[in-house]
Structure 1
Amino acid sequence: MSRRVVKWCAALGIALLSGQADAQGPGQVVDEVVVRGPEKTLPETVRSFSRIDTGDEITFEELDKVERRLVATGLFQEVKVSLEPTAPNRVRLILEVEDKASWVVAPTFALSSDNIGGGLLYAENNLWGRAKKFATAAQVSTAESGIFAGYLDPNLFGLPQLRFSLEGQLRSDRMDEYQPGAGQEDPVVVRRTRLNSASISSELGVMLFERVRAAVKYRLMSIDAKSPDPEKEVTTPAFSIGPSQRDTSLRLMVGIDTRQNLHAVMEGLNLEASYEVSNPGVWSDFRYRRFGLLYRHGLRLFEEHNLVLRGEAAAGVDLPFHQELVMGGNGLRGFVHRQFRGDTRLSFTAEYHFPLFTIRSLSFRGVGFSDTGLMAWRELPSDGELRDVNGRVVRGYLPDSQSGLKGATLAQGLGAGLRLYLRNLVLPLVGVDAAYGVNSGEFRFYLVAGVSPT
């Protein structure tokens, strides 16, 4: 008999004892909320995530929702929610949880076409027993190196409806630009630019009715470009060389988000619209805008199978080189890391996850996937240069760049992979994928081991 059936039978028994049973399951008044089992998580933290308090009315249907809320926090490897009668039509709510190990020191790895490297990460998932999260990491790779530190409070002021984050980064990026076209077996780098940056950002979000989410994010960045690699075909700068520039932006987001990560399965729907602006009014040396629409959907099938869909439409106006949209690598498997660039992007990914076998708390899961992306420039300047408010060149386009559908790139990758999950630890997901680029006919492999703190 499943846990859900047991839970409903127990609840029905309580209702019969109280003389209040009906076809839908009556509401029982909660006299007390009791937390049992956690070694680190504070009882008030568990209660806050349950969203049930003394004096509230609870129905049979609500029991399953409470359990799902607690599992979705990622703090507990086991959760059991039950009721005990205290008087006619009155109950005690019992929340029994078993903590996961909340911290981890782990290596990080990145292996994809044109981006190989690794580093070390420390992450704490349950600071002070209050579900606050902190992570710091250092990584060196061929395309992206740097230091990261971030703090996330998903339960601000003890309210699960409020979410606050603060993060900072020091980065050095090798920005490669390739010959156009998705059919190349071995894409040729025509310009290579080194970009160094330092940034700090903060986001405040609010969740209403457990489904409507709104957030505002402010980011401050200092960006500095180095001279292009003289050994590549194009040596004119993609970004003006000189003093570092300040890139500040304000991002607004609103959407519906009912997603819950229930151990290795993601369920729920996310529809999101965003608008980002950078101009002197928000203390920036740049002037650009970016619009986005995002769709994510997780469907549970056959209990432990998971169909995950993701679609995105993004468009930028006057994007500088370091803020352009990119595709390729882990975002478009089957192609080189950041192989395609543009100011307009459409993408769609479908993944089917399924269980293979489990060894104690370690689960092995397979995945089949399809990644599709369309990238284009809507309209390029006639002289091939985009300038900022001070007249500096913030984007020098490649000589053969074309705008509109004529210059658009449509690419697709198909493949399969393996995922590992450890139920009793806050451990990073380990994944390996093999992808076939339909356009190029090439196979490429991708390995990710580590946590992305953002």
Structure 2
Amino acid sequence: MGCLWVSLASAQEASPLPEEPLSPDLNLALPETSTFTQVVGEVTVLGAEKTRPETVQAYSRLDAGDALSPEELTRVERRLVATGLFQEVRVSTQPMAEGQVRVLLEVKDKASWVIAPTFSLSNSNIGGGVLYAESNLWGRSKKFVAGAQVSTAETGLFVGYLDPNLFGFPPLRLSLEGQLRSDRVEEFRLDASQDDPEVLRRTRLNSASVTGELAAMIAERVRVAAKYRLMLIDARPPSTDTEVVEPAFEPGPAQRDTSLRLMVGLDTRQNLHAVMEGINLEGSWELSSPSVWSDFRYQRAGVLYRHGIRFFQEHNLVLRAEASLGQDLPFHQELVAGAGSLRGFLYRQFRGDTRLSFTAEYHFPLFTIRSLSFRGVGFSDSGLLMWRSLPEDKKLRDITGRVVRGYLPEAQSGLDNATVAQGVGAGLRLYLRSVVLPLLGVDVAYGVNSGEFRFYLVAGVSPT
């Protein structure tokens, strides 16, 4: 991309943002004379108060000497909006000597940090906490989040850091995460038609983990990534007030679960304020074994499809499909579904080593009060979970012989014993254009299998 440079202070002092608000849509108005490819002579950033001008230009991917067409101007504007850093963006050109043009990148920053309470409510998980999030650290778009949460299912502390333009180069991303967590894991009777699912066993799992991921975008389309996770897991004996008291995970000394996950795929998604456009096709493979310093030995592979389609400027159809296959998954790594991932059912109601899922959501605008947008959503969630092949004694052991998964007595493997569930419903989303984080999400879902309505509320962002 060449060295990054910007004509800065003098241009900002001489050419402030216009008094009228910048156009919020992405239909870039181009000069009638801009019907041919031009050459960039200079890039000038205007209006940025916190975001450093070199960061704005880095995301634009423009530099002096680059060829510039009307289509590229539109792509530049979309890139800047998709960063999530700006309330408003305008990209325009001014003629210069020798047939070159000056590109003006006019932006208005969002509020980049927030300290806010969080709250979540569903039929099987109630809790809240506090969150600090900074989405534009040092004006370079680095992101930091720290949070604490207490709920009936999960309690813990979370710290995360994301560098979406490593070394000032947007195609490179680095993320680091750390968690201290205590889970109360409930296992339900395997029947999706229950209106009040019965809990057969409760297990407390305590863990501490650190995770690092390095990703690269090639030609703004192909994403490759590698993630390494180190976790210490400690299982407690199951609750004695349930029907099954044989441990799901044999108590004992804390064990080390480390894994290496590799991902590759096509990713053209862009979040344009409250609308997501583009497609993501991704394949992944995860390995945990002594070769990566783990006390466990398991594998997991998956294929993911996500697609955002925009209609009528502000309407959005979002599709998501996933197939995941696990081999020898310990209890704490099993595939689950319910509540957020399968609305109409309880949180983590279904479990297995194989999961197929499909979600379709249609988002549409309701009304806007100043910068506060109210949007509706209709959705359908479908899922299939199963165990492909269970051990004869229904006990899975790690490399030392310790039982890391004791299955329920009624658990059966094979497609004939798969759980198929579907939920449909509608909800409300609130967005504030001047801040990065969504404010509120409310969903009411109908479980087709059980005939029950369930309610979900999320205020703020859950740190987990």
TM normalised by structure 1 equals 0.96
Residue in structure 1 matched with residue 164 of structure 2 by the alignment: 154
Give distance in 1, aligned partners of 2:29 and 2:251.
Answer: 66
Distance in 2 separating the partners of 1:155 and 1:227: 45
Give the alignment partner of residue 29 of structure 2, picking from 7, 12, 18: 7
- Once residues 402 and 59 of structure 2 are traced to their aligned partners in structure 1, the CA distance between those partners, rounded to angstroms, is 50
Please identify, of 25-34 and 384-393, the stretch whose mean Cα deviation from structure 2 is larger.
25-34
Q: 1:249 to 1:5 in 2, by over 3 A?
A: closer
1:232-311 paired onto structure 2 within 5 Å: 232-311=242-321
Contact 2:161 2:176 in 1 (8 A): yes
State the shift of 1:426 in Å: 2.1
SS at match of 2:96: strand
Gaps of 5+ in 2: 1-22
Instruction: State how 1:3-402 maps to structure 2 within 5 Å.
Output: 7-8=29-30, 10=31, 12-13=32-33, 15=34, 25-402=35-412
The offset of 1:89, in angstroms, is 2.9
AA at the equivalent of 2:29: K
Q: Distance in 2 between matches of 1:304 and 1:71?
A: 15
Shift of 1:254: 0.2
Cα deviation, residue 453, structure 1 = 5.2
Confirm whether residue 414 of structure 1 aligns to residue 436 of structure 2: no
- Could you say if the C-alpha distance between residues 3 and 326 of structure 1 is closer, same or farther in structure 2, counting changes exceeding 3 Å? closer
Deviations 1:206-228 (A, max 9, x none): 00010100000000000000010
1:5 Cα offset (Å)? 6.1
Name the TM-score, length of structure 2 as normaliser. Answer: 0.94
| Count of aligned positions | 442
Query: How far apart, CA to CA, are the structure 2 residues paired with 1:113 and 1:281?
Result: 41
Change (3 A) 1:407 1:4: closer
Q: Contact between 1:245 and 1:285, CA under 8 Å: does it hold in 2?
A: yes
Q: Post-superposition shift, 1:4?
A: 6.0
Q: Structure 1 pair 81/126, CA: closer, same or farther in 2 (3 Å)?
A: same
- Find out whether 1:441 has 2:439 as its counterpart: no
* 1:118 to 1:4, Cα distance in 2 relative to 1, 3 A: closer
Inter-partner Cα distance in structure 1 for 2:379 and 2:26: 31
> 1:112–1:330: 8 Å Cα contact kept in structure 2?
no
SS of residue matched to 1:96: strand
SS state of the match for residue 71, structure 2? Answer: helix
Identity of aligned residues (%): 71
Note if contact 2:286-2:301 (Cα within 8 Å) is conserved in structure 1: yes
Distance 1:232 1:5, change over 3 A: closer
State the 1:417 CA deviation. Answer: 0.2
Shift of 1:427: 2.9
**How far 1:452 sits from its partner (Å)?**
4.3
Distance 2:70 2:138 in 1: 33
Taking only aligned residues, the RMSD between alpha carbons, in angstroms, comes to 1.2
Residue 29 of structure 2 aligns to a residue in which SS?
A: helix
Letter in 2 for 1:142: T
Q: CA deviation at 1:449?
A: 1.4
Contact 2:203–2:236 (CA under 8 A) maintained in structure 1 = yes
Structure 1 stretches of 4+ with a deviation exceeding 3 A read: 1-6
- 2:173–2:214 contact (8 Å) kept in structure 1: yes
